[in-house]
Structure 1
């Protein structure tokens, strides 16, 4: 059994996933990955030249992220860099370039948000991670997790506010961002990091944080 398969089976939160449960064979996974890559390539080729280069450059992060938990206690930071690349690509697809005043704080906000929610998620499997020898910010922060994720949460909200200001979003953006900040503060203050079920509930609740920020951007742009 390969390391990745062994890890998936031994870790409680991943043992029901397709590979670990046997619902998906490696060959089926490769076929699915190939179809997704072809679909993504088809979309990327519809974009401008700058966006094509930017999109292709994300592959380094995509392929390296799964290995990070073997080498660093900060795989959640690499996840943030990878997941939030879409903020750069979305802007470039429309504008044909990047505006650092808007994009750098937006990208930073997304990375910091990812550090919050994925650290909470990682607390579900600290014992399993130790058992199989992989790393996470949950293990790195330990008993200081709430202080760390509070700082990252504050940095995320501040960066979202700066990005919105530089993008000249109108006033509706800010009440909704305030509501998102309250949702994030609720997550951090109430999560029981020793309770797997509660960590999962707080992790899933980030859909509401994301929705609030999204609609803030929409209404802030419409009112501009």
Structure 2
């Protein structure tokens, strides 16, 4: 449903702005949901009363903008690589519908807008989010020299846990459970990005860039299962440090079973299967969120 709404907004938008909406991947909500969900995990942990709904709204809107900033930065940096890959050759900067200069300006505009949105929660959150920006800009360069770019991406994307916690509490002094959620998000990102990377592994091999698909090869599923175990361990450890209720453990078992199902069923040699499984990973994030909410209510 969300995908249809987002795609519809982009499709029906005026020609003058459609390319910019495509550059921020507004038609593909999976990316910003994968970025947002660990932040929401932290908000739920910190949630006190209805006033925290302002933090939820700010964190959700800012996630779309920061992800848009990340996508624009990525496409500007990777413009020559994108032109050599069938899946990415139509991206606005690679296709020439947006210039590199305008791509940089659009990235900057979204980065600033996200900080203004987060300021509605509190100024401390602005500083935490701003501290992550250099990491976001650095990520596209990782595939050029770092053998495991997904690991760096996991560390970057999961920083939204700290943004979510600070938005809800106004406090950047993080208790241990926040770091547990950060670890959970990091290893989860390593899973869905490794699956994503299998779409382009032949192009990556020819171009000479690094990816999880090339690093793990035929052992990818073994590594995915290991990362899944570590992600779940992070969530459960974080929950165990609080007075969370029994319902958390019931729902988190469902999350574990679902993630295992995704890893088992995906055909890593089929680009469409990889894309579909990448998108389906959002369901794991929602199940973890549901587990945390259920635990707060019991």
Q: Fold conserved (TM > 0.5)?
A: yes
Q: TM-score, normalised by structure 1?
A: 0.91
Q: How far is the alpha carbon of 1:176 from its aligned partner? A: 1.8
Residues of 1 paired with 2:248 and 2:95: CA distance?
43
SS of 1:58's equivalent in the other structure is helix
Alignment partner for residue 144 of structure 2, among 67, 70, 80?
A: 70
Q: How far is the alpha carbon of 1:203 from its aligned partner? A: 0.8
Q: Is the 8 A contact 1:91 1:98 kept in 2?
A: no
Q: How far is the alpha carbon of 1:49 from its aligned partner? A: 5.2
Q: Is the 8 A contact 1:117 1:206 kept in 2?
A: yes
Q: How far is the alpha carbon of 1:155 from its aligned partner? A: 0.5
State the partner residue of 1:152: 227
Alpha carbons of structure 1 residues 178 and 16: separation in structure 2 relative to 1, 3 Å: farther
Q: TM-score, normalised by structure 2?
A: 0.69
State the partner residue of 1:91: 165
Q: Is the 8 A contact 2:77 2:140 kept in 1?
A: no
Say if 2:196 is the partner of 1:121: yes
Residues of 2 paired with 1:10 and 1:135: CA distance?
15
Q: How far is the alpha carbon of 1:156 from its aligned partner? A: 0.5
Question: 95-104 or 154-163: which moved more?
Answer: 95-104
Alpha carbons of structure 1 residues 108 and 69: separation in structure 2 relative to 1, 3 Å: same
Q: Is the 8 A contact 1:120 1:193 kept in 2?
A: yes
Q: How does 1:1-224 map to 2 (within 5 A)?
A: 4-48=78-122, 50-95=124-169, 96-223=171-298
CA RMSD in angstroms comes to 1.9
Q: Is the 8 A contact 1:122 1:137 kept in 2?
A: yes
SS of 2:78's equivalent in the other structure is helix
Q: How far is the alpha carbon of 1:210 from its aligned partner? A: 1.2
Structure 1 segments unaligned to the other structure (5+ residues)? none
Q: How far is the alpha carbon of 1:57 from its aligned partner? A: 1.5
